[in-house]
Chain A
């Protein structure tokens, strides 16, 4: 559904980086590794939160 606000493992706030990560690395052509480094998402627990996330709001909204 929506991006988790915090990293499940360490509690760091990762939600605020989602939109930039999405436009630059998922929809854009940039290397996800470099984007995450630039955003300051260092640990691999926080990185997987963004790398593995998919927005589902658009998928479920027609059934409201």
Chain B
């Protein structure tokens, strides 16, 4: 029987979220983190055919820039690793070629950000290319990494233990992350990461709450944070199942 996990959001946006998970071991928390970084497949350009490039940058440099543009990743099951989608671009100078100038062959896969400059074209210069986007994992190349700046911290419990000595120096007491005060979750940014601002003149004790982790997750735009987390957990589950099958006689 799987234990019930308690998940609580501290901050929640489309591409950025912070949430508290209770009842997980540090090893499992790190497993989720690593799966988000390296094991969730995303779409990214990994082959480009240049028909014309008279810009100031080399084909290879432009190909690298195209590869780093985040593409929306289709819902699970629509694509498998190894499938490709073709995106075409044709821009003539003077002007700048943007990621939004890509025309995709599939509505599900298109640039997630439309304003990323690819190359500045001068009068008479032209960029015409076809790019193949493929599904792969962050393990193989950073361009396939959906999670950006994924990390976690222990939830910290703050307890007031008494009054500070009258003549004691008021030194800042810096804490970063999310604290728990009488069951209430408070991001430290609310009081400038300084406990003496929140508890003036008080003596406080601070301790890590066992098995409670505050995750900070951002995505590059390939999918929403929820999608990233659920896919990471699915991949973890799938690998655990593979191991189980392999171990069985």
Mask of A6-37 contacts with B, CB within 8 angstroms, 1/0: 10001111011011000000000000000000
- Name the one of B54, B118, B125, B220 contacting A13, with C-beta atoms under 8 angstroms: B220
What is the CA–CA distance of A33 and B66 in the complex, to the nearest angstrom? 29
Tell me the nearest residue of chain A to B61, going by C-beta: A1
Flag whether B22 is at the interface (Cβ < 8 A): no
Flag if B120 contacts A60 (CB, 8 Å).
no
Flag whether A61 is at the interface (Cβ < 8 A): yes
Flag if B148 contacts A12 (CB, 8 Å).
yes
What is the CA–CA distance of A64 and B125 in the complex, to the nearest angstrom? 10
Flag whether B68 is at the interface (Cβ < 8 A): yes
Mask of A32-51 contacts with B, CB within 8 angstroms, 1/0: 00000000000100000000
What is the CA–CA distance of A24 and B97 in the complex, to the nearest angstrom? 21
| Given A2-B65, A43-B149, CB of A60 within 8 Å of CB of B56 | yes
Rounded to whole Å, the gap between the CB of A44 and the closest CB of chain B is 12
Flag if B68 contacts A5 (CB, 8 Å).
yes
Flag if B218 contacts A6 (CB, 8 Å).
no
What is the CA–CA distance of A57 and B54 in the complex, to the nearest angstrom? 13
Flag whether B84 is at the interface (Cβ < 8 A): no
What is the CA–CA distance of A19 and B70 in the complex, to the nearest angstrom? 18
**Stretch from B72-80, B109-117, B173-181, B231-239 contacting the other chain:** B109-117
Chain B interface (Cβ < 8 Å from any Cβ of A): 54, 56-57, 61, 65, 68-70, 99, 113-120, 122, 125, 142, 145, 148-149, 218, 220-221
CB-defined A-B contacts under 8 Å, sample of 30: A1-B56, A2-B65, A3-B117, A5-B116, A6-B142, A10-B149, A11-B142, A11-B145, A11-B148, A11-B149, A12-B149, A13-B68, A13-B69, A13-B70, A13-B113, A13-B116, A16-B113, A16-B114, A16-B115, A16-B116, A19-B115, A19-B117, A43-B149, A55-B120, A57-B56, A57-B122, A58-B120, A61-B56, A64-B54, A64-B122
